[in-house]
Structure formats: C-alpha cells, structure tokens
Structure 1
Amino acid sequence: MTQPDYIIVGAGAAGCVLAARLTEDAGTTVLLLEAGGSDRKLTIAMPAAIPFVYQKKSLGWNEQAGPEPYLVGQMIDEKRGKVLGGSTSVNAMIFNRGNRLDFDGWAAQGLKGWGWQDVLPYFRRMESFSEGASATRGGNGPLKVTRAKAAHPLFDVYMRSGEQAGHARPADHNSGDQEGMHIAQCTIGNGRRWNAAQAFLRPALNRPNLTLKSGLQVVRVLFDGLRVCGVQLSDGTRIEAAKEVILAASNVGAAKLLLLSGVGPADDLRALGIPVVLDQPHVGQNLENHPGVNLQYAARREDTLVSQLGLAGQVRLGLEWLLFRRGLGASNFFEAGAFVKTHDGADYANLQLEFLPLARRVVNGKVTVFPGFQLWMDLSRPQSRGHIRLRSANPSDAPEIVFNHLKEREDQLDMIRSVRLARDLFAQPAWDGIRGAEVNPTADMKTDDDILTWVRSAVGTSYHPSGATRMAVRPQDGVVDAECRVHGISGLRVVGPGVMPRITTGNLSAPTYMIAEKIADAIRGRKSV
C-alpha cells in the first residue's frame, strides 16, 4: 500500500470498527496503526484473568491522573490499553449501552442524528446478543454479548436485597429501560473475552485493502495549511493519507495527539514551543470520568467466592477454562449491578453499582482478595470537569491529567448519598446471617462529614475518561462536528469516547463501538442503517 485513503490511529474499539467497515468497500484502502502489540495472550483471552491484565504494564500506557486538588492531592491510576483491541483487551468486559436519555440529551444540543432512536440501529448492527434479536437487540453482529450466569448464591442475595429496598428489575437494561437492578451483560463469547480485535479486526485482516501495522507510535499529525496530509511516527517516518486521518486513539490519546500537532489552546502550545496550526481552546477540556468508591463488608469464607479461589480452586478454574472454555475462568466476576438515582430529584439514574461476591484490596501493587463482598459505586453523570494538558513537547512524556473529582458540591453530596444508599441495600433482610462487619469504610463513619472525609481518600475511577475532544455544532463550543470532523481542519476526524458531548450512564466501550459504526457510515456516504 503506497498511499492509503485513510490512516486510522489506534486499534481499539473505534479503530477496529472503522477499519473493518471502511474496507467492506473494495475500492477503499486503509492503514491501521497501533502502538501496542498482539492481543493473543491467555491472560487477555481468559475473562477471569482481569487482575493480571490490569497489572501488566506492557499492555497499558501507565498514566496517572492528579494530583487531584479536591481529593487531598491523591494520584489515581488510569488504565487504557496499549495493545491490539485497545482498552477492550484490558477492560472488565461489562456491556452497557447507556441511558436512552443520554443520547436524546446529545440531540437536544443540536447534534442531529444522535438521539436514542437514531443510534439504536447501530447498537443493534454491531452486536450478537445471546438471547436473540429483537426490536432493540441485534442477533448477527460481530460483537458477542452474553448475559452473565451469576451462579454464585450471593448474586441472588444481592438482587433480592435490591428488590427489598424498592429498586426495579428491568427485563433488559440495555433496551432503553435502564433503571434498577440487573444481571450484567458482558462482551464474552464462547467463554473468552470478545474484544474489538476478535470481533471486528481479525475477520477483516485478509482483505487486500486493509493493512495493519502494530508497534508503531504516531507522534503527530502532519498538515499542509489547514488540511491534514498524513502522520509522523516516533522514528521520524512520515506516512501520507489520500483522504483522511482518523484519530481513534482513545480520549487521552486523541487529545494528546491534537495538542502535539498544534491544534489546541494557542497560548499553551506556544509556551511549549509547539507551532500553532489552529487555536482551539476546547482540546483537552471538558474532561469527564466516573469517580467511585468500594463499600466492603466482611463475611464467612464459605459464603463468598473466596472459598472457590484457593490453590485447588485456581487449578480447577484454569483447567476447566483451558479445556472447555467454561466455569469461573469464563467469568469477569462483575456479574450483577444496578443503575439507580441517588435522590428523588434526579431526572434519571445517576449512580452505577457493580457487585462482587468477594472483597478485594491492593497490597504492594497487587490485587488480593479476602472473605467478604463489595459494591462499587460510581457517579454516572458527575458535574465536575477536568483537563488534559501537555507537560512538554516530547511525545514520550505522559500528559497532565486532572479530573477535578468532587470539585462540585453536588458530586460530594451524591457520593455521600451513594454510601447511604449502599448501606441501606446491605441492611435488607436478604443479607441477614451473611453480612459481617463493614470493613471499608467502617460503621462508625456516620455523619456526612465522616463519609466525605473517607470518600476523598478512597475515590478511584471506572477508567471511563471522555469528552476531551467533545462534539458540538459550533467550534466555539467543541472540537468536532456531528460527523466527528475537527472544526476548522479538513481531512481530520476524531472517533472515540473523547467526542462524547456528555458522558454516558454506564461503561464506555459499547457507546464507543456505536459511535464508530455511525461515523463509518457517514464516511461511506451511508446516512442510516
């Protein structure tokens, strides 16, 4: 391939979809560039091996957010995949489309074609749901989505406690009726992680019009005036594109590349000696994430999943998965959750819960488990905003990432309400005889001030950064237009979670796949499914 029509930067969810869909047209040539290496690793394929994937530095960019000024200067690890499949090769495989009102909210900002009814066909096209096709679910798409087995008894206890606490239980939380308790849906197929490379890229790699090059880091986009002409790699190599360069390099990666290339706040760029191509103050701004905390209780070993994870249990887990692709090895363990309101005034669910029938802590950088159970609670639609900025003009330097978690008082109140809501859930009769002492925080932390003090020290994230290259009708309000074209630049798009004008209610992989499906159609001149 001498000069491809399209250069796609990043082989994550968005990049794999775009590469597969664009090359369905035999006359279109695509070069897909990925900084990481192969995803063909047992720890990636086995769903239960998530902790090992998280700890493998070679599979990620090893970035930290902070110091977070409203969390007593805390630094927060952020995970994004540096491997084929991107973050879909290292995430927890939880599949949540988001709330229909999220997308209707995008449309209400003037972004035509992004309402729930507009995006639903793309959600359907991309998936093969294990329970079959319907008016809202897809049955023959590349991405395998299954409902978790949730076989451990504590999942049933959790679900019953939610019903006792007055929470609904929708039949399918991904069909538009999201609020309430649910058994999780996961991107797991045939007992293995079904990442973007497995679903979209690998079936397309035999096409002569698609070229994949991995282990190559793009350090800047090249311009001829205000038109993009190609990209430059870390070794100085320049590659030209005949039509477009598409940045599918994650929220952080895309914002960083734009800034390194001279598209961003002019004063910041000049201060680092970067020639300004376009003064665009929104690049790196509007940064969102889902901040959260774990509430943990002790329990008897025999009542929890820990009883199955001793040495003999681990051997059985590994063998059963290797031989039959079933059993605990085929589980991501996050098999039940919920979307609920933290208060009656919320217009729709603003809190996500994820339950585990064991308790985890990090000791010397490694995840260890102990007898108990825990509930992860994150704010689905926080009000606080942060930023991404370059520390230098050196592409090897990690950017400054600050989320400003809990800056806004409403976010503080919602975290306090979340802890109280979770305590109420675990106080239900379903837990009688099972729940032990509250471990994290401790039961003596009762006042709002007590809880907030603990929260400030305990906040982590769900690894869902978004919004740093947000979509908006006008360049005064955002970075890209409704077809993800960078305002003021020709031949350049950004496709991924960074373009979300407002973060979705849930995990971000599913809507990222959808965004790429939709933009692939826009590039191909197909306006609807």
Structure 2
Amino acid sequence: MQNFDYIIVGAGSAGCPVARELSADPANRVLLIEAGPHADRFWVNTPAGMAKLYFHKTLNWNYHTEASPQLNNRQMYWPRGKTLGGSSAINGMVFIRGHRGDFDDWRDLGNPGWGYDDVLPHFKAMERFERGGDAWRGDQGPLTISDPVVKSDSSRDFIRAAVSLGHPETHDMNGQVHDGVGFMQHNIKRGRRQSAYVAFVKPVLDRPNLTVMTGAHVQRVLFLGREAVGVELVDGRQIGALREVILSGGAINSAQTLMLSGVGPGAELQRHGIALIHESPGVGQNLQDHFYIHTGWRATADSSYNANLAGLRKYWEGFRYLMTRRGYLALGSSQVAAFVKSHPDAPRADLQISFRPMTFAYFPDGTVAVERQPGMGVSVYQLRPRTMGTVTLRSGRATDKAVCAPHFLTDPYDIGAMISGIKQIRQIMGAPPIAARVVAEEVPGPGVRTDEDILRFMVETGNSAHHQGGTCRMGRDALAVVDERLRVRGVERLRVVDASVMPNLTSGNTNAPTIMIGVKGGAMIREDATPRRQV
C-alpha cells in the first residue's frame, strides 16, 4: 500500500486550500484526490461560460433531489463541480463572506474559534483584493477578488432605487458593512475564473511532497479499530494515511463517504449492510440550502446586455474577450446584491436580492441560453432557513448518488420570508430610476398578486441557489458530527473540512466561507500535527 501523511478527499473549494497549507511543510507527504478530471478548458476559465457547465457530463456531478411533495413532486437539479476546483470551477464566482453575526452564531453554538474576529484573519490571508487591503480586507493572499469590469447603468439605477426606499448603500459588502445594497465582487483575475484549484494548488504543483490524483472516486475511509488509516477507491485500490484523512467532498459527498465508511446513523448503515464503526446520528442531517426564486423583467434596449451575448454580436464579444479579457464575457453571474430584512424585527438582513442586467432562457432539455430580447433578472433567497433536509444513502456503493431531500417550503417562517422577498423586489423595480427601464414584469407577471398566488408561484418555479451545507455540522451536542477542530467525533485521525461543517448557512453565496473553512482547517491540522502511525 502506498502511504502519505495526509489524504484529502475532494479537490474543491475547501480541499485545495487544505492541500496548499499542509504541503507547505516539506516534511508532509500530501495526496489530494479528485473524482473528476482536470478543468483547464475555455468555458471553465471564461467567467460567462458558467451556463455551458450546467449538465456537463464530465465536470459536474449532476445531482437531483428526490421528488418533493411540497413542490408538486418536482425534482430539483443540483449541479456540483466534479473537477479540480470543485464547485468553484463551475459556479457564478460571486464572493460574499457573510455577515459577522453568522460566525458569531457558530461560536455561540459551542464552537470556540469560529466567531467573526477569529475567522477574519483567515479571510484576509486568503484574499488578494484588487482595491487593496485594510482592517477588513487582505491584498497578499492567493485568491484574487475583483469588482465587475463592466458596471452597467441599469445596475447603478437598481442601487439608487433600493437606496431611495431606505436600504443603505454599501461599497464593500465584504468589509465593515455587509447589509445594504451594492456591487458584488467575484473571484476573477484579469478576466479569468479564479477557482480554488487555480488560486491555491496550481501555483504549488512543483512541490515534490504534493501529489494530485484525478479520476479517483473514493469508496470509503479505511479504519483500524476506530482509527482512520487510509482510503479505498471504487476500483479497489487502497492508499494509506499515516497522519490523517480529511474529507472535503462537500455537503453531499462528505456525508455519503462517512456513512459508506461506517460512521453515521446506525439504522441507515444497517439498512445497506455497512458495518458500524461509530454511531453518529447527525451525519446527513441538518441539510440546509438557500431556496431561490427568480423574477424576470422585460427591459428597454439600453438596460440589458442580452443582445451583446446573442446573435451575431456574441461573436464580436468573443473576439473582444480573446483580445482583451474584458467585456461581458469577463463578468460573473450577478452584478448587484441587496441584503434586506423580511420583517422589521429581524436582527439583521435575512434576504439576499440579486440583480443582473440580463436574462436566461431555460429549455426542456436542461440547456440554458441568453435571451435575445432585452431583459433584467432579479432573484431572492432566504439567508437563514429554518427548513432542514437530509442526505441518506441510495446503496452501499459510492457510485450510486446519495438521496437528497431538502424539504423546501415546509416551514411557515421560511414561506413568509420569501413572500416578503418577492414583494420587495417589486417595490425596488417600481421605484425610480430603475422603474424607467422596465417595460413589463414577465415573471411571475401581473396575474400573481396575493400571498396565495405568490406561494403557488414559488411551489411551481422555486429552485435552489446551490448553497448546500450543514450535513456534518460542528458542535458539542448529540447530533454534532465534528468538533471545533473539525475532527470527526468518536473516531481518530479523521476530519471533515468543507461546507458540511457549517452549523448554519452564511448570509450570501457560500463559496467564500467554504474556502475560508479550508484555509482555517488546514492551519488547524498543521498546528495539531497528529503524530505518524507506526506501520
């Protein structure tokens, strides 16, 4: 059996910074395992290529939820990156840390070291913010964070309209003031996507103590007693870990791998004939995601860049991008975010409204394309859902996708908050100066007025923002899977380092805090320096 000091399962948003940190010590032999292939492709590197990666047969896990009774028995598509960089290689590149209260909540739930003041140094250490560093931002890290290269007039008018309604403007939602409305930032460098792999691992590939293995799907963690000693791949190969195994497969795969390895709810493991290593009833529980509603607005011609990305003009934009790495192909998925409260008594914003001066058409075969007619898209999701879902096993084989049941729209509070979000979108889009750019509300349309109408619209069209987390959450209660050092409770030499350890989701897109978890997790693993096993 080939042995490494550390084996990291999953080369995604968290796994890549873990690999960089652990391999910085030349005494550590580090193996980074990825089930998918390399991702150095044009549409991966091009920010506007995100739509091309939906349903990609090799770079995407292409998950679907189970049919949801509360959503007219619809199955929901959950894309997750299956390539070097993980979901950071296929997502919209939006960079939002979250509200400081999110992390203080984690700390107060029994996780010392995870308050905002504790995680801020790790956020700063990972960032290379193009505007420069200050008390809240870093400018020396490996991950470039940039403002949109094109800030459209309609985006500016959306901000002005929101401000006119009493929402404060924030010029850096990752700095001192999170709540409010302002331009988003993206992990884009000189017009190219900065995935976690490109930022954290690619620059250190020459380290002789770092091995990156692609096309390697892990079946289970190997144990000797209660001690993790390596991994087994689906093809039967076994690889030893002398110090630790780190699961960084994300909220779906890490929970699945734990259960396939014998760590999880006893009844679930028994149902699939898996020998129990440690009873951990919280594995796969506490699944959280941001339920997402989209609205579409037909716009005046100068309010949208749909026409620039459709028809013959898209070829000019392609040429412009190839020559300059600028223009509309160099933009992330959304331009503006407004963090607002669903009701006045909320302690902080609990809704994220996102604006983009473009709209997509969705076709029955699952493909996505920019609409030809001018349009503006506005979406909303609730930041701190009360709904909890589950990830369970479909079988005892890692190649059979896990069973994902999000249980959306089962909590009255969540439903009320989302209805408020739709109403607030309409308020902003009806306020000057953005109102002058609106020709008509197309989705949900003027026929959807009452709360009952809006709920029906949500049931029929609601989707996921693809921000899954929480299935291996950290804490100190009976359902906590890992402790504050991200060590799996009840076993030795095994950690989970990814979005699945979040006790609650953060306020915004979850990629930035997931990368931070990898940066902080890698630092903790080096600090703990688990001694090598004797073999």
**TM-score between both structures, scaled by the size of structure 2:** 0.96
Whole-Å Cα distance in 2 between the matches of residues 303 and 281 of structure 1? Answer: 51
Q: What is aligned with 1:488? A: 490
Q: Deviations over 1:367-399 (max 9, x none)?
A: 132422110101111110000010111221111
Return the letter of the residue paired with 2:476: V
Whole-Å Cα distance in 1 between the matches of residues 297 and 402 of structure 2? Answer: 37
Distance 1:259 1:526, change over 3 A: closer
**Do 2:171 and 2:183's aligned partners in 1 also have CA atoms closer than 8 Å?**
no
Shift of 1:300: 3.2
Q: Deviations over 1:94-119 (max 9, x none)?
A: 00001000000011112111000000
- For structure 1, which segment, 66-75 or 396-405, has the greater mean C-alpha deviation from structure 2 after superposition? 66-75
Secondary structure of the residue aligned to 1:252 is helix
How do 1:296-311 and structure 2 match up within 5 A?
Answer: 296-311=296-311
Whole-Å Cα distance in 2 between the matches of residues 324 and 445 of structure 1? Answer: 44
**Do 2:61 and 2:80's aligned partners in 1 also have CA atoms closer than 8 Å?**
yes
Return the letter of the residue paired with 2:484: A
Q: What is aligned with 2:410? A: 407
How do 1:215-230 and structure 2 match up within 5 A?
Answer: 215-230=215-230
Return the letter of the residue paired with 1:377: V
Does residue 10 of structure 1 match 2:13?
Answer: no
Whole-Å Cα distance in 2 between the matches of residues 425 and 171 of structure 1? Answer: 19
Return the letter of the residue paired with 2:367: K
Structure 2 unaligned spans of 5+: 530-535
Shift of 1:433: 3.2
Q: What is aligned with 2:522? A: 520
Which stretches of structure 1, 4 residues or more, deviate above 3 A after TM superposition?
A: 300-303
**Do 1:150 and 1:183's aligned partners in 2 also have CA atoms closer than 8 Å?**
no
Return the letter of the residue paired with 2:386: Q
**Percent identity over paired residues:** 37
**Do 2:12 and 2:86's aligned partners in 1 also have CA atoms closer than 8 Å?**
yes
Return the letter of the residue paired with 2:153: P
Shift of 1:526: 7.4
Whole-Å Cα distance in 2 between the matches of residues 515 and 40 of structure 1? Answer: 25
Return the letter of the residue paired with 1:480: V
Q: What is aligned with 1:285? A: 285
Whole-Å Cα distance in 1 between the matches of residues 515 and 81 of structure 2? Answer: 15
How do 1:69-80 and structure 2 match up within 5 A?
Answer: 69-80=69-80
Whole-Å Cα distance in 1 between the matches of residues 353 and 272 of structure 2? Answer: 42
**Do 2:383 and 2:507's aligned partners in 1 also have CA atoms closer than 8 Å?**
yes
Counterpart among 373, 377, 388 of residue 374 in structure 1 = 377
How do 1:349-428 and structure 2 match up within 5 A?
Answer: 349-364=349-364, 365-368=366-369, 369=371, 370-428=373-431
Distance 1:310 1:519, change over 3 A: closer
**Do 2:51 and 2:368's aligned partners in 1 also have CA atoms closer than 8 Å?**
yes
Structure 1 unaligned spans of 5+: none
Distance 1:269 1:432, change over 3 A: closer
How do 1:221-260 and structure 2 match up within 5 A?
Answer: 221-260=221-260
Does residue 465 of structure 1 match 2:476?
Answer: no
Return the letter of the residue paired with 1:309: L
**Do 2:149 and 2:327's aligned partners in 1 also have CA atoms closer than 8 Å?**
no
Q: What is aligned with 2:480? A: 478
- For structure 1, which segment, 311-320 or 397-406, has the greater mean C-alpha deviation from structure 2 after superposition? 311-320
Q: Deviations over 1:444-491 (max 9, x none)?
A: 2111111111111111111000000000124x1310000100000101
Whole-Å Cα distance in 1 between the matches of residues 8 and 443 of structure 2? Answer: 44
Distance 1:245 1:423, change over 3 A: same
**Do 1:483 and 1:519's aligned partners in 2 also have CA atoms closer than 8 Å?**
yes
Return the letter of the residue paired with 1:492: L
**Do 1:149 and 1:335's aligned partners in 2 also have CA atoms closer than 8 Å?**
no
Distance 1:266 1:526, change over 3 A: closer
Whole-Å Cα distance in 1 between the matches of residues 510 and 434 of structure 2? Answer: 31
Q: What is aligned with 1:435? A: 438
**Do 2:281 and 2:479's aligned partners in 1 also have CA atoms closer than 8 Å?**
no
Secondary structure of the residue aligned to 1:487 is coil
Secondary structure of the residue aligned to 1:3 is strand
**Do 2:37 and 2:58's aligned partners in 1 also have CA atoms closer than 8 Å?**
no
Q: What is aligned with 2:499? A: 497
Does residue 508 of structure 1 match 2:506?
Answer: no
Secondary structure of the residue aligned to 1:50 is helix
Q: What is aligned with 1:325? A: 325
**Do 1:150 and 1:336's aligned partners in 2 also have CA atoms closer than 8 Å?**
no
Shift of 1:6: 0.3
Whole-Å Cα distance in 1 between the matches of residues 48 and 227 of structure 2? Answer: 46
Q: Deviations over 1:47-66 (max 9, x none)?
A: 01111022422111111112
Shift of 1:135: 0.8
Tell me the C-alpha RMSD between the 2 structures.
1.4
Shift of 1:508: 1.1
Q: Deviations over 1:21-63 (max 9, x none)?
A: 1111111110111011111000000001111022422111111
Q: What is aligned with 1:201? A: 201
**TM-score between both structures, scaled by the size of structure 1:** 0.97
Shift of 1:323: 1.9
Whole-Å Cα distance in 2 between the matches of residues 135 and 303 of structure 1? Answer: 36
Whole-Å Cα distance in 2 between the matches of residues 334 and 313 of structure 1? Answer: 21
Whole-Å Cα distance in 2 between the matches of residues 117 and 463 of structure 1? Answer: 27
Q: What is aligned with 1:90? A: 90
Distance 1:345 1:206, change over 3 A: same
Q: What is aligned with 1:339? A: 339
**Do 2:291 and 2:382's aligned partners in 1 also have CA atoms closer than 8 Å?**
yes
Whole-Å Cα distance in 2 between the matches of residues 54 and 191 of structure 1? Answer: 21
Secondary structure of the residue aligned to 1:275 is coil
Q: What is aligned with 1:211? A: 211
Whole-Å Cα distance in 1 between the matches of residues 354 and 302 of structure 2? Answer: 21
Q: Deviations over 1:476-515 (max 9, x none)?
A: 1310000100000101000000000111111111111111
**Do 1:100 and 1:176's aligned partners in 2 also have CA atoms closer than 8 Å?**
no
How do 1:37-52 and structure 2 match up within 5 A?
Answer: 37-52=37-52
Return the letter of the residue paired with 1:445: V
